[in-house]
Amino acid sequence: MSERIIPFRDLEEERSLFGSLDRNLHLLRRLYGVDAVSRGGVLKLTGDPESLGSAARVVEEALDVLRSGAVVDADQIERIFRKGGADETSSPDPGGVRPEVEPRSENQARYVDTIRTKTVTFAIGPAGTGKSFLAVAMAVAYLKRGTYRRIVLCRPAVEAGESLGFLPGDVASKINPYLRPLYDALHALLPRTQLERYLDEGIVEILPLAYMRGRTLDHAIIILDEGQNCTDGQMKMALTRLGRSSKMIVTGDITQIDLPRQESSGLVTARHILSGLEEVGIVHLSKVDIVRHPVVAEIVRAYSRSEEGERSGARERLGLDKPRGRERPTSQLPRRDGGG
């Protein structure tokens, strides 16, 4: 293994080179297969001589551009780094990113692997199966690794029994309760000060689905939560926000649709029409994957039994489940002449 030291003129030069969250430092490691550590005003590169030489050349080229006095943004530095690096387009997940939390069931492990290998992942299952939390955990892992530049989380603001108009405060205050579960997941995975900084800098963005219209999201990992409450039009709009080098995860529970009866669920429709696409993965989670308090699984099972009973009762009332009886013999039919 060889080593190369590249000094910086000042802290600002180092920040300009590596960008927000050291994303270009992570990119340098991934593209060239070197160990790169930036500390104390110097960049220390370690690796085999060939990889080390390539990595050092692109770093020095980028520094020359920065020192020329030209206005340079992080995207331009990224292009310089990528110019001599390996092609990343062959795999949606170069480097095998894993979440900080371990999957607790076979289906959850399949869910994580699908996120890694597919551009769009649908996770469908009941409450408590880890759909949203694992999606956020993977997004945070990707962000820390530098695979994606930002996380965009969104939800449809569909009312479930209480009107937005009755909630106190301005529009932001009215919308916040719908987004609270996403904040809770992020708080569980990131220190508070770091999360606040990410939110302030737009590295992590949490917004209602309606605010996604008209946008194209490049270099982002996008999570659409509660997808069962999207209409067909909203689901199509959300899926077509996907930009260059981005990934999307859609979660939802098709047994908990809060849309008006005349509206079809965009999640149900998408599952049907997108299931054959190569870059789309669909994972179904079930009651056995519930990882909340054990009583949650019992509650889900009890509701399932009750709903199944109601469906059976409705079929009986309509006569749909009654066996067809044998025809009465001719001798038992009433006589048309009124005779006995």
Give a yes or no: residue 28 inside a domain: yes
Number of domains making up the chain = 2
130 and 78: one domain? no
79 and 21: one domain? yes
Q: How far is residue 145's CA from residue 26's CA, in Å, rounded to a whole number? A: 6
What are phi and psi for residue 263, nearest 5 degrees?
-95, 135
152 and 117: one domain? yes
User: Dihedral of CA 87/115/35/186: which sign?
Assistant: positive
Domain-ending residue, one of 272, 290, 308: 290
Query: Residue 36 is part of a domain; what is its CATH number?
Result: 3.30.1370.10
Q: How far is residue 78's CA from residue 26's CA, in Å, rounded to a whole number? A: 11
Query: Residue 259 is part of a domain; what is its CATH number?
Result: 3.40.50.300
187 and 257: one domain? yes
Give a yes or no: residue 32 inside a domain: yes
State both tokens at 98.
């894993």
**Sequence-ordered strand ranges (E) for 53-197:** 120-124, 150-155
Residue by residue, pLDDT tens for the chain (340 residues) are 788 889 988 888 888 888 777 878 888 888 888 888 888 888 999 888 888 888 888 888 888 888 887 767 777 787 788 766 443 443 445 446 778 788 888 999 999 999 999 999 999 999 889 999 999 999 999 988 888 889 999 988 765 444 445 555 555 565 677 778 888 889 988 888 988 888 888 889 988 888 898 999 988 999 999 999 999 999 999 999 998 889 999 999 998 898 888 889 999 999 999 998 999 999 999 988 887 666 766 787 788 788 777 767 666 666 665 555 444 454 455 555 544 4
Question: Which residue segment(s) compose the domain that 60 sits in?
Answer: 2-83
Cβ partners under 8 Å of residue 50, min gap 6: none
Q: How far is residue 118's CA from residue 92's CA, in Å, rounded to a whole number? A: 6
The CA-CA-CA angle for residues 81, 85, 91, to 5°, reads 115
Q: How far is residue 231's CA from residue 257's CA, in Å, rounded to a whole number? A: 10
Instruction: Give the count of beta carbons closer than 10 Å to the beta carbon of residue 179.
Output: 18
Give a yes or no: residue 310 inside a domain: no
Q: Is the pTM here over 0.75, yes or no?
A: no
Inter-residue contact 224 to 249 (CB < 8 Å)? yes
221 and 284: one domain? yes
130 and 259: one domain? yes
